[in-house]
Structure 1
Amino acid sequence: MNPLLMIAITTGILSGLWAWVAVSFALLSWAGFLGCTAYFACPQEGVRGLQLSLLSCCSGVFWATVIIQGSALAPHFEIAGYLLTGVVAFFMCIQARQRWLGFIPGTFIGACTTFAGNGNWQLVGTSLLIGLIFGYAMKHSGLWLAARFSHRPPEK
């Protein structure tokens, strides 16, 4: 069976489930979908990819919080916030020298999600984390189904 088709099916089912979970528990559904996106975009597969995505996204949440809090210290000097953003963006990229923070897009996904979530890092972090888990489940349940159906004897 076509793996892409199976991933599409499981992604559709689990996306609907995620939407329900997000509303039921007052989470940010869009942030969870960004978590799914981070997992699907990660160059690593499996649990290693989940870990790399998680750590990178969490570091982005941290860095965005640094920018938000740091900029609030000098509210009358907009240039300070711009400079801080530039310095932090440098660190967001250079941290990728550490293997476990090497997924730069995940870092930026975490940061952008935090900005869009008005700095509510607890809600953003929870939504991203659950979304990452859903992304992992979407892909791997689809791959599991594809492997299961590919070993099935042909129908008569």
Structure 2
Amino acid sequence: MTVLVAISLTTGILSGIWGWVAVSLGLLSWAGFLGCTTYFASPKDGIRGLGLSIVTNMSGVFWAMVIIHLSSLFSVEILGYVVTALVSFFMCVQAKKTWLNYIPGTFIGSCATFAANGDWQLVIPSLIVGALFGYTMKASGLWLHQKLNQPNSKLAAAEAE
């Protein structure tokens, strides 16, 4: 079994489980899939990729709330667009910090917050649990690939004799 097929298998199974978990816990299943996607697309693997995904998603939630709150202070619509432009600049420039250098993760967190009408209390756990599922999907797929493709130790020992 190839790595791709192994990861696809575990991703399929865990995606179904995520759907059930999201409904059971009252989370946003689509936001969880965004957290999962953030992990899969992360430039880092493993725990570092998981951390980078979560931190940048959370910064995106923060920046979205800044845009929402600052835009609500102005009755002139164009000023809301100016706020969005300025905050988007900061969303990108924060990537100078190593632990915030995954700009798509920031924008995914921000977009999830906008899509949930600013309900950050629901978006945050959905993104985090989704990222954890993404990590588990890939890690379990890699584990499955290794287990299915490692030579049978008894068979290998018998052939060596």
Q: Does 1:51 align with 2:51?
A: yes
TM-score with structure 1 length normalisation? 0.96
Q: Which secondary structure does the structure 1 equivalent of 2:145 belong to? A: helix
Partner of 1:33: 33
Question: Aligned runs of 1:84-95 on 2, under 5 Å?
Answer: 84-95=83-94
- TM-score, normalised to structure 2, is 0.93
Which blocks of at least 5 consecutive residues in structure 2 are unaligned? 156-161
1:100-120: CA deviations, max 9, x gaps? 000000000000000001000
Distance, in Å, in 2 between the alignment partners of 1:54 and 1:85 is 22
Counterpart of 1:64 in structure 2 is 64
Aligned to 2:159: none
Task: Encode CA deviations 1:19-71: one digit per residue, 9 max, x unaligned.
Answer: 00111111100000000000000010000000111110000000000000111
| Larger Cα-atom Rg | 2
Describe how 1:12-23 pairs up with structure 2 within 5 A: 12-23=12-23
* Root mean square deviation of aligned Cα: 0.9
Quote the offset at 1:149 in angstroms: 1.1
Give the secondary-structure state (helix, strand or coil) at the position aligned to 1:118.
coil
**Number of positions where the alignment pairs a residue of Structure 1 with one of Structure 2:** 153
Task: Give the distance between the partners of 2:28 and 2:106, measured in 1 at CA.
Answer: 18
Structure 1 unaligned spans of 5+ = none
Percent identical across equivalent pairs?
A: 60
Q: Which letter does structure 2 place at the counterpart of 1:24?
A: S
Distance 1:53 1:33 in 2: 12
Q: Deviations over 1:77-136 (max 9, x none)?
A: 111110000000000000000000000000000000000010000100110000000000
Residue in structure 2 matched with residue 106 of structure 1 by the alignment: 105
Task: State the match for 2:133 in structure 1.
Answer: 134
- Three-state SS of the structure 2 residue aligned to 1:51 is helix
Give, in angstroms, the shift of residue 150 of structure 1: 1.0
Q: Aligned-pair distance for 1:152?
A: 3.3
